[in-house]
Amino acid sequence: MLDSIRRSQMLSPGDRVGVAVSGGADSVALLQILQNLRDDLGITLFLVHFNHQLRGVEADADADFVAALAKKSGLEIVMAREDVGQAAREHGWNIEDAARRLRYGFFQRVINEGRATRIAVAHTADDQAETVLAHLFRGTGFKGLGGIHPQVDSMVRPLLGTRREDLRNFLRDSGQSWREDATNRDTRRLRARIREKLLPLVERDFSPAIVGHLNELARFAREEEAFWAALVEDCFQAHSQKNDEAISISIPDLLAPLGPLPQFRAPFPQGSDSASSRPLTERLIRRLYQEMRGDCHGFAADHVEQVIRLATKSSSGKRAELPGRIVVDRVFNNLIFSLQENAVRGAIHLETAPHQNEYQYSVNLPDRGAIIVSIRELGTSFRLKVIDWPTAERDTKRDGRVLDAALLRKPLILRNWRPGDAYRPYGRRQPRKLKQMFLAARVSGPERAAWPVLESGGQVIWARGMPAAEDFCAGKGTRRGLLIEEDRS
């Protein structure tokens, strides 16, 4: 346990840890283990106990047991009680959900009041296996397969890799008693049926290691979900445009978030390159919805499909209505997410909002020599230098940094990036949007609006820090090259 806690860094020296003790074997074992390890970990302990008021005198007896345990251990205890049944009736929650909400609300108050830096909860490997199976039976994706997380904010679960029976044996060996909650064996509840009937059957007749396998599955699912969440957030930041009333994304960016794909006749045809974009597109739609509403409750797979149909099959002016009064309007080649009452105003605002950090400087290149363009908005200057380009093959270095001056057309303009800017970079077969290049180069959102680009005859041919346009790069036959250097001094 000590190695596991140190490896995961869920507890650190100086932490004040509230141990959530219900009186059951798992939480009593957690308390005793942490007491044994507190000097090694450099932490301070106290108990927290929440009375759900669901089992009458039995619940009160649990509270008395935990209070006596705290006194015996010489530890402070913080206790609370709330009527979970009444809260469930008032809010339309089921009992388990109401109990969880109120219990974790109490834990969070303990954290917010500064009484603890961490709350340790006694979920075990068996709890994890039961949770994964329960989610499977109800229908779930990767997020649900991830089950119980070892750490969420200030809540930590040091026992998540430990079997329940091992903890009971540990308590028996040390002579420590615990309380049993009879409702945990009530097989009218799904979790209890999984615990009392299904898992013992599977362990006996199919796989003795099923609990370990389900825990590994949960870990893999959490890792996958973490990867997807990071990728989706990058795409969301790169492609979306937001104001107080709406959020917008271009349809090409939604359907191909990682870059332009070959044209296709039907949305995401099986076996095409675009089919591989669909998982990311679906997650990006959920992220857009979440940004507008605050969560994804009630937003199901058929709603995601509704948005995809709007993007791939509908025309400008069409709308999709989603749960929570969220609507998605197609405005030409964009989808605009908004609350129903703000839809028109939000769309107009996004379509007409001026870009920040706008600038535009006309450049008159000399036949030889250099011209310096100072960009006040960036506090930097660019030196555009026309140089003789060697004709011998061995003297040239074609690396996408030097442009062929003879291919440039007027007007030559140095300006800030604008949504939709794209060109075919050196060494690439297909054009790429600068948004995609920013994403690959890890250029942050705030930097992008003012990012300098060079336009020749209305076509973007260069951007700071990126390979120049393939069709304008110096090569065989070039006599004069254009080298662009930045002077930040």
CATH code, domain with 23: 3.40.50.620
Q: What percent of the chain is predicted at pLDDT more than 90? A: 62
The region that residue 56 occupies, defined by phi over 0 for left and psi between -120 and 50 for alpha, beta otherwise, is left
Q: Which helix (H) or strand (E) holds 461?
A: strand 459-463
Which residues pair with residue 151 across a beta bridge? 156
Pick from 463, 412, 402: nearest CA to 434:
463
C-alpha to C-alpha distance for 166 and 4, rounded to whole angstroms:
16
Contact (Cβ atoms closer than 8 angstroms) between residue 342 and residue 326: no
| 276 has pLDDT over 50 | yes
| 265 has pLDDT over 50 | no
Contact (Cβ atoms closer than 8 angstroms) between residue 242 and residue 292: no
367 in the same domain as 267: no
User: In this structure, which amino acid lies at residue 187?
Assistant: T
> Where is the domain boundary, 352, 371, 386?
352
C-alpha to C-alpha distance for 141 and 143, rounded to whole angstroms:
5
Question: What is the DSSP code (8-state) at residue 320?
Answer: E
CB burial string 316-331: b at 16+ within 10 A, e below: eeeebebeeebbbbbe
The region that residue 99 occupies, defined by phi over 0 for left and psi between -120 and 50 for alpha, beta otherwise, is alpha
Least confident of 134-138, 247-251, 333-337, 357-361: 357-361
Q: What is the pTM of this model?
A: 0.67
Does 75 reside within a domain?
yes
203 in the same domain as 147: yes
Does 234 reside within a domain?
no
Q: In 139-209, which ranges are continuous DSSP H helix?
A: 142-145, 164-174, 190-193, 199-205
| 352 has pLDDT over 60 | no
C-alpha to C-alpha distance for 178 and 224, rounded to whole angstroms:
38
Domain count, the chain: 3
Pairing of strands 432-433, 480-487: unpaired
Q: Calculate the average pLDDT of the chain.
A: 88
> Where is the domain boundary, 352, 383, 410?
352
> Where is the domain boundary, 303, 323, 352?
352
253 in the same domain as 199: no
Quote the domain boundaries for residue 293.
240-352
285 in the same domain as 210: no
Strands across the sheet with 44-51, in order?
77-81, 44-51, 16-20, 118-120, 155-156, 151-152
C-alpha to C-alpha distance for 391 and 138, rounded to whole angstroms:
70
Does 7 reside within a domain?
yes
Does 221 reside within a domain?
no
Does 33 reside within a domain?
yes
55 in the same domain as 156: yes
The pLDDT, as a whole number, for residue 397 is 55
The pLDDT, as a whole number, for residue 342 is 66
Q: pLDDT per residue over 125-165, tens digit each?
A: 999 999 999 999 998 888 899 999 999 999 999 999 999 99
